[in-house]
C-alpha cells in the first residue's frame, strides 16, 4: 500500500482494502500470542491527537501502536481550545518538530485531517472527523464481516439509524460498496443525508433507501445499528424517542426477518434499549465485541502498512 495518509475510504481501491484485511489477519495472529509484541514500529512515534473524547478508539490505537513497539504519546484537547487558542496547524507543526511520525487524529470538524495532512510530512490517520469519515472503523467492520461470512461481495447490508450525523456510516458506505455489497440505508427521513445527486455525478455511492425497517431488514446478511444521540429529538429531528424506538429499534423480532445467521453490528458505544434491544446486543448473532477486538488488529495493520515496509507482514 503506497499512501501517506488514511483519511477516508473514498479513494481506496478494493485491492487496497483487501491488502489491509489480509495484513490484519497476520496481526490477529500476533494478538493470539502470549506476548503480543513485535518490533515493526520500534523507534517510531505515534501521537494520538484527540480533540474529542473517545476512550475506546484511543485505547484501540494505543494498544495497536504499542503492540508494534512504537512510542505512543496521547494528546487530549477539548474542542473549545481549538477555537480560542492555538490553531490546528500550529499544533501539527509543533508535534512534527517534536518528532511525530504518525498522527492519529480525532476531530469534531469534518475535513480537519485533510488540513493536517497538508502540513505534516509524516502520516495522518483519521480516527473520526465530524460527520465525515471514520475509515478505521469501517475497515474493522469490513474485517469482521469477512471473518464471519467469508466475503463481502454480494452481501445485503442494512445500516439503520442516524445516517445524517454518522461518519461511521459514511465510511462504511464507501468501503462496503467498493467491496461489492448491496447497501440499504434505513432511518427517518430527517436523519438521512441528501442522496439526490442533482448536478453532481459520482460524488457518492449508489445506495438504497428504505424508511421501513421491517422491509429493509428482509433477507439481510448484515444489520448495523447506529448510536442515536438523544439530543436529536430536542433539535426537532424526531417527534419523540418513544416513536424512534417503535420504528427503528433493532429487536429480536426484526432481526428474525433477516437471513438466518445474519450479523448484528454496532460501532459503539451503544444506547441499549434505544437503537438496539439488549437481547439483540448480547445475542448469538451479535458480533459487537468481536468488532472491538478486530479494531486493534486492523489498526495494527494500518500502522504497519503506513510505516513503509508494507510488504513484510510482520
Q: Which residues bind other proteins (CB under 8 A)?
A: 10, 82-83, 87-89, 107, 109-112, 114-115, 117-118, 129-133, 167, 170, 193-200, 203-204
CB 1 within 8 A of CB 275: no
Q: State in angstroms the smallest separation of the CB of 254 from other proteins.
A: 26
Give the Cα separation of 143 and 136 in Å (integer): 10
DSSP state at residue 154? T
- Residue 152 CA to residue 159 CA, distance in Å, equals 15
CB nearer other proteins, residue 35 or residue 194: 194
Q: C-beta of 108: minimal distance to other proteins in Å?
A: 8
**How many other CB atoms are found less than 10 A from the CB of residue 198?**
5
- Residues in a beta bridge with 47: 73, 103
Burial of 204 by CB count in 10 Å (0-12 exposed, 13-18 middle, 19+ buried)? Answer: middle
Which one, 44 or 107, has the nearer CB to other proteins? 107
Our CB check for other proteins shows the closer of 88 and 217 to be 88
Complex with other proteins: residue 58 or 132, whichever CB lies closer:
132
| Residue of 291, 300, 303, 302 whose CA lies nearest to 56 | 291
Whole-number minimum distance, CB 116 to other proteins, in Å? 10
180: left (phi over 0), alpha (psi -120 to 50) or beta: left
Count other Cβ atoms within 10 Å, centred on residue 7.
Answer: 22
> Are the C-beta atoms of 275 and 257 separated by less than 8 Å?
no
Q: Tell the smallest beta-carbon distance from residue 60 to other proteins (Å).
A: 21
In the block, cell 513503509 appears at 308
Q: Which is nearer to other proteins, 1 or 116 (CB)?
A: 116
Smaller CB distance to other proteins: residue 64 or 105? 105
CB of 14 to other proteins, least distance (A): 19
Element (H, E) at 94: helix 88-97
CB of 110 to other proteins, least distance (A): 4
**Distance in Å, CB of 121 to other proteins, minimum:** 15
Nearer to other proteins, 207 or 245 (CB): 207
Amino acid at each position: 500500500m503506497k499512501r501517506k495518509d488514511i483519511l477516508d475510504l473514498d479513494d481506496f481501491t478494493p485491492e487496497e482494502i483487501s491488502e489491509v484485511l489480509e495484513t490484519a489477519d497476520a496481526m490477529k495472529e500476533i494478538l493470539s500470542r502470549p506476548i503480543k509484541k513485535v518490533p515493526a514500529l520500534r523507534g517510531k512515534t505515534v501521537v494520538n491527537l484527540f480533540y474529542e473524547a473517545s476512550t475506546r478508539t484511543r485505547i484501540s490505537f494505543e494498544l495497536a501502536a504499542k503492540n508494534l513497539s512504537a512510542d505512543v504519546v496521547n494528546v487530549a484537547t477539548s474542542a473549545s481550545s481549538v477555537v480560542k487558542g492555538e490553531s490546528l496547524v500550529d499544533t501539527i507543526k509543533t508535534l512534527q518538530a517534536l518528532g511525530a511520525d504518525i498522527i492519529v487524529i480525532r476531530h469534531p470538524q469534518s475535513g480537519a485531517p485533510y488540513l493536517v495532512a497538508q502540513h505534516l510530512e509524516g502520516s495522518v490517520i483519521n480516527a473520526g472527523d465530524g460527520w465525515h469519515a471514520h475509515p478505521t472503523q469501517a475497515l474493522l467492520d469490513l474485517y469482521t464481516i469477512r471473518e464471519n461470512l467469508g466475503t463481502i461481495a454480494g452481501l445485503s447490508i442494512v445500516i439503520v439509524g442516524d445516517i445524517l450525523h454518522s461518519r461511521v456510516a459514511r465510511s462504511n458506505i464507501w468501503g462496503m460498496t467498493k467491496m461489492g455489497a448491496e447497501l440499504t440505508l434505513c432511518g427517518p427521513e430527517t436523519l438521512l443525508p441528501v442522496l439526490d445527486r442533482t448536478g453532481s455525478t459520482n460524488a457518492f455511492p449508489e445506495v438504497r433507501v428504505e424508511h421501513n425497517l421491517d422491509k429493509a431488514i428482509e433477507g439481510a446478511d448484515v444489520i448495523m445499528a447506529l448510536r442515536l444521540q438523544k439530543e436529536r429529538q430536542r433539535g426537532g429531528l424526531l417527534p419523540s424517542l418513544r416513536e424512534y424506538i417503535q420504528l427503528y429499534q433493532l429487536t429480536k423480532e426484526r432481526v428474525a426477518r433477516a437471513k438466518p445467521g445474519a450479523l448484528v453490528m454496532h460501532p459503539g458505544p451503544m444506547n441499549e434499549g434505544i437503537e438496539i434491544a439488549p437481547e439483540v446486543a448480547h445475542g448469538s448473532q451479535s458480533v459487537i465485541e468481536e468488532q472491538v477486538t478486530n479494531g486493534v488488529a486492523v489498526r495494527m495493520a494500518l500502522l504497519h502498512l503506513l510505516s513503509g515496509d508494507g510488504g513484510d507482514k510482520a
